[in-house]
Chain A
Amino acid sequence: MCRSLVWIFCAGKLGRRERSDKDEGLWNCCFLCLPGTVFSICCHLLHATLPQISPSSPVPTSGLSLAVIFSYKRSVSVGRGTRKRDEDSGTEVAEGADEWAQSKATVRPPDQLELTDAELKEEFTRILTANNPHAPQNIVRYSFKEGTYKLIGFVDQLAVHFSQVGNLIPKDSDEGRRQRYRNNLVTGSEESAKLVISEAEVVEEEDEPKEAEAGSQTDVPAAEAAEKVAEELMTPKQPKERKLTNKFNFSERASQTFNNPLRDRECQMEPPPRTNFSATANQWEIYDAYVEELEKQEKTKEKEKAKTPVAKKMGKMAMRKMTSMESQSDDITKVTQAAKIVERMVNQNTYDDVAQDFKYYEDAADEYRDQEGTLLPLWKFQNDKAKRLAVTALCWNPKYNDLFAVGHGSYDFMKQSRGMLLLYSMKNPSFPEYIFSSESGIMCLDMHMDHPYLVVVGHYDGNVAIYNLKKPHSQPSFRSSAKSGKHTDPVWQVKWQKDDMDNNLNFFSVSSDGRIVSWTLVKSELVHTDVIKLKVEGSTTESLEGLQLYTVGCGTAFDFHKEIDYMFLVGTEEGKIYKCSKSYSSQFLDTYDAHNMAVDAVSWNPYHTKVFMSCSSDWTVKIWDHTIKTPMFIYDLNSAVGDVAWAPYSSTVFAAVTTNGKTHVFDLSINKYEAICNQPVVAKKKNKITHVQFNPIHPIIIVGDDRGHVTCLKLSPNLRKMPKEKKGQEVQKGPAVEIAKLDKLLNLVREVKTKI
């Protein structure tokens, strides 16, 4: 009660100042009347004063603040009013107990909420919960099951205010164990090191005491030993405990050595020489490389095989010379091949129509021409150098079907000059492929069957020579001379023979001096052998001393039998044809009185073994069977016949050229009496055609005239007729057919003759 009184006193004291209306009264009456009410009032006042006190001294009110929080009455207003007069409280306390009674009047601020008592007494309960005030309370989720939005009952109330990732790991986790293990290892090693040191120290200590105080200190070493043992015992148990360094009896010593001054030493070398290399690797480049390798290997093999000591040196010298020559020679020489190709191309362009004709043109008019044919002129070959020289020989190359050789010389006895050998290709009509010139006119030539690069020529002066086309020299490789038995008269015909038994090249020549000579190429020298001497029969006269003189016939043409190797025919200036054998040197096998003038050409039929043909300047062409003395067929061509040739594709077709510029083609199976083609071939009539040759493969013939021109002509289809197919029968092709064809004809003729 005194307490309460005290309080009241205080309150009254304070309350004196407030002179509010209602409250003043209240205060006073309560105080005087009832003790119970006094308490309540005390409480009331207590409450009232509390707020006043509270701002000045927070500590004392702490205990009571709870009560305020939990339940407070609306007496705060009173307190507020009193609070304002706080500052003055000190001074006015002393003043008056009189005013104390009046001081209970509370002062209200003007904007204070006015509430009724009931309202004032209302208790408001505030509950602390752990709910997150910011968590939403109305989260809805769409439920597919029911197809509507549904409220989620439980909402997560966790509010994270702060989070930090730490680096603590539990001891027993994997990582924790691993780290512990690692640490133990480290400490263990340290420990072991320390252990070693400590042992050493201990040992040292042991030694020292031992030494110092031998007797009395026995305990110490023992103790130390014990310690040591204990340590040892300890350390295995806890090997991973690190020894903590004691600040007091632990000293660490360190010393720093001089840092050596650093120096940089550099050395720069010359950069190695570099080259850039780039190449492509295609399939064909790889192929090329392999081919080169192969060639190299083959070369080395050949070198090994063909080596002789002398040859070696020579070879090397030659090689060196070659290489040096190559390096010195002008670059332009390497374009030869390309230049050749281009020249041909250019010519092809220029003579495009001719080339097309050659390949594809077939004279369609032949169908209407009954049985006659024509010769289509294709190219014309001529060369300035050989302009005034007559074509004296023509020969197709057996291997390259577009290459042919033309021999130039002169038939004129009075005008004898130089000679030329030109080789043309049909692919390049404007310029010959090879040019050889000689001092004496070339009268005849022949190309070897097996070695198509060897050409043998016979000269007007009686010499023979062999040209090697592989070697580009203008001079012949081998030449006969007066010493080696050349002819004394022009060589009219030369022909290659098969290689003799020693594999030496072999050819025959016939000349006006009446000798038929066989030449053999033995070790780069021409060795001659007289095969036969053409004696004119019936001309042997006896002279003095029993010598037999005979007139020598002049051979002008010869031909070897295709199958019977030793047999050959010789035509003479007298018009006779002798059938001779290589083995008989003095006697002829047979003689034919062929012509009235010199026989210009004789030729065996390519298919029929018995038939041969001859032509002469007496305007006739005669076809013989060598078993019969009289000719089978005789043709009069109104002009001196220069040359006659069988066609390679048929046994009954042949061509003859005359000096009036005409070419006659005969086909005995079609027309026995007349030529099926009779055509002037050269431009001017003055040009005499001297030779004709059939191409072995293509249906063309070349014709040479005495102006040095060679014309190439295509045979029209009628001229190359093959036997017609009969219905139901297969056409047989081959030599047998041809032979049979000719046989038939011959039989006809023979029958006629026998009849006659």
Chain B
Amino acid sequence: MAEVEETLKRIQTHKGVIGTMVVNAEGIPIRTTLDNSTTVQYAGLLHQLTMKARSTVRDIDPQNDLTFLRIRSKKHEIMVAPDKEYLLIVIQNPCE
């Protein structure tokens, strides 16, 4: 248990990371380092997107599964790692 906490802490303190959040299977944020409104927004939107991405991958080949989803935008990069029950979202500013 402590390991995960540590890992999350490390991610949070990593260079360029703006925020992290853990969202459950229904799109409700469990843990976050950002403010409430932003979290809720991110959680809802990314949850849907992840579901869609996952169903796309699996529809093409049911033996396949989504490992992670990266959305790179002008300002920063959103990384989503889906799990069976949870979704881990990290927003990082890749330093360039």
- Bound-state Cα–Cα, A343 to B7, Å: 7
Q: Roughly how many angstroms separate A331 CA and B1 CA in the complex, as a whole number?
A: 9
Smallest CB separation, B18 vs chain A (Å): 11
Give the distance in Å from the alpha carbon of A346 to the alpha carbon of B8 in the complex: 11
Contacts A337-B83, A346-B14 given; does A329 touch B1 at CB 8 Å: yes
Q: How large is the interface on A (under 10, 10 to 19, 20 to 34, 35 or more residues)?
A: 20 to 34
Question: Which residues of B sit under 8 angstroms from A339, Cβ to Cβ?
Answer: 4, 7-8, 11, 81, 88
Please give, as numbers and ranges, the residues of chain A lying within 8 Å of B14 by CB-CB distance.
Answer: 343, 346-347, 350, 430
Chain B hits for A300, CB < 8 A: none
In the bound complex, do residue A332 and residue B31 qualify as a contact, i.e. CB atoms below 8 Å apart?
yes
Find out whether the CB atom of A349 lies under 8 angstroms from the CB atom of B16: yes
Q: Is the CB of A343 within 8 A of B10?
A: yes
Least CB distance from A331 to B in Å reads 7
Q: Would you give the shortest CB distance from B29 to chain A, in whole angstroms?
A: 13
Binds B, one of A70-78, A281-289, A314-322, A698-706: A281-289
Q: Does A219 sit within 8 A of B, measured CB to CB?
A: no
Q: In the complex where A287-B63, A335-B4, A335-B83 touch, is A345 in contact with B90 (Cβ < 8 A)? A: yes
**Quick one: which of A287, A342, A349 contacts B68, CB cutoff 8 A?**
A342
Q: B1's contact among A286, A332, A347, by CB below 8 Å, is which? A: A332
Give the CA-CA distance A335 to B88 in the complex, in Å: 7
Given contacts A284-B58, A350-B95, contact A345 B84 (CB under 8 A): no
A332 touches B5 (CB 8 A): yes
Is A338 among interface residues, defined by CB-CB distance under 8 A? yes
How many angstroms between the C-alpha atoms of A330 and B92 in the bound complex? 26
Whether, in the assembled complex, A341 has its beta carbon less than 8 Å from a beta carbon of chain B, the answer is yes
Partner of B55, one of A282, A335, A340, A345: A282
Give bound CA distance, A288 to B62, whole Å.
8
User: B40 at the A/B interface (Cβ < 8 Å)?
Assistant: no
**Residues of B in contact with A, size category:** 35 or more
Say yes or no for A352: interface residue by CB 8 A criterion. Answer: yes
Chain B residues near A345 (CB-CB < 8 A):
68, 70, 79, 81, 90
A334: chain B residues at CB < 8 Å are 83-86
Q: In the complex, what's the smallest C-beta–C-beta distance from B21 to chain A, in angstroms?
A: 11
Expressed in whole angstroms, the minimum distance between the Cβ of A347 and any Cβ of chain B is: 7
Number of A-B residue pairs, CB cutoff 8 Å, is: 102
Q: Flag if B58 contacts A336 (CB, 8 Å).
A: no
Residue of A nearest to B68 (CB): A341
Please give me the residue from chain B that is nearest to A339 by CB atom: B7
Chain A 273-314, CB-CB to B under 8 Å as 1, else 0, gives 000000000111011100000000000000000000000000
Q: Does B49 contact A (CB under 8 A)?
A: no
* Cβ-based interface call for B43 (8 A): no
Beta-carbon contact of A284 and B7 below 8 Å: no
Q: With A330-B1, A345-B68 in contact, is A282–B58 under 8 Å at CB?
A: yes
Known: A283-B58, A331-B30, A333-B1. A346 touches B90 (CB 8 A): yes
Please give the distance in Å from B51's CB to the nearest CB on chain A: 10
- Within the assembled complex, what's the spacing in Å between the Cα atoms of A287 and B57? 13
* Minimum C-beta distance from A84 to chain B (A): 108
Instruction: Tell me whether A431 and B88 are in contact in the complex, defined as CB-CB below 8 angstroms, given that A283-B59, A336-B4 are known contacts.
Output: no
| B55→A284 contact, CB < 8 A | yes
Contact present for A350 and B94 (CB under 8 Å): yes
Contacts of B24 in A (CB 8 A): 331
* CB closest chain-A residue, reference B84: A334
Q: Which residues of B contact A283 (CB under 8 A)?
A: 58-59, 62
> B95's closest neighbor in chain A, by CB?
A350
A350 touches B16 (CB 8 A): yes
**Which A-chain residue is minimally distant from B69 (CB atoms)?**
A345
Tell me the minimal C-beta distance from B73 to chain A in angstroms. Answer: 13
Q: Do A282 and B59 have beta carbons less than 8 Å apart?
A: yes
Q: B17: shortest Cβ distance to chain A, in Å?
A: 6
User: A342 touching B1 by the CB < 8 A rule?
Assistant: no
A352 to B94, CA, bound (A): 8
Q: A497 vs B91: C-alpha distance in the bound complex, in angstroms?
A: 47
Collect the chain A residues with CB atoms within 8 Å of residue B16's CB.
346, 349-350
Q: For residue B4, which residue of chain A has the nearest CB?
A: A336
The 6 closest A-B pairs by CB, nearest first: A284-B58, A287-B62, A338-B81, A284-B62, A338-B88, A349-B94
Q: List 18 A-B contacts (CB under 8 A).
A: A282-B58, A284-B55, A332-B4, A332-B30, A333-B4, A335-B8, A338-B81, A338-B88, A342-B20, A342-B81, A343-B10, A345-B68, A345-B90, A346-B92, A350-B94, A352-B94, A431-B7, A431-B10
Extra A-B contacts (16), CB below 8 Å, given A333-B1, A342-B81: A282-B55, A283-B62, A284-B55, A284-B59, A287-B58, A287-B62, A331-B85, A332-B30, A334-B85, A336-B4, A338-B86, A341-B81, A343-B10, A347-B14, A349-B77, A430-B14
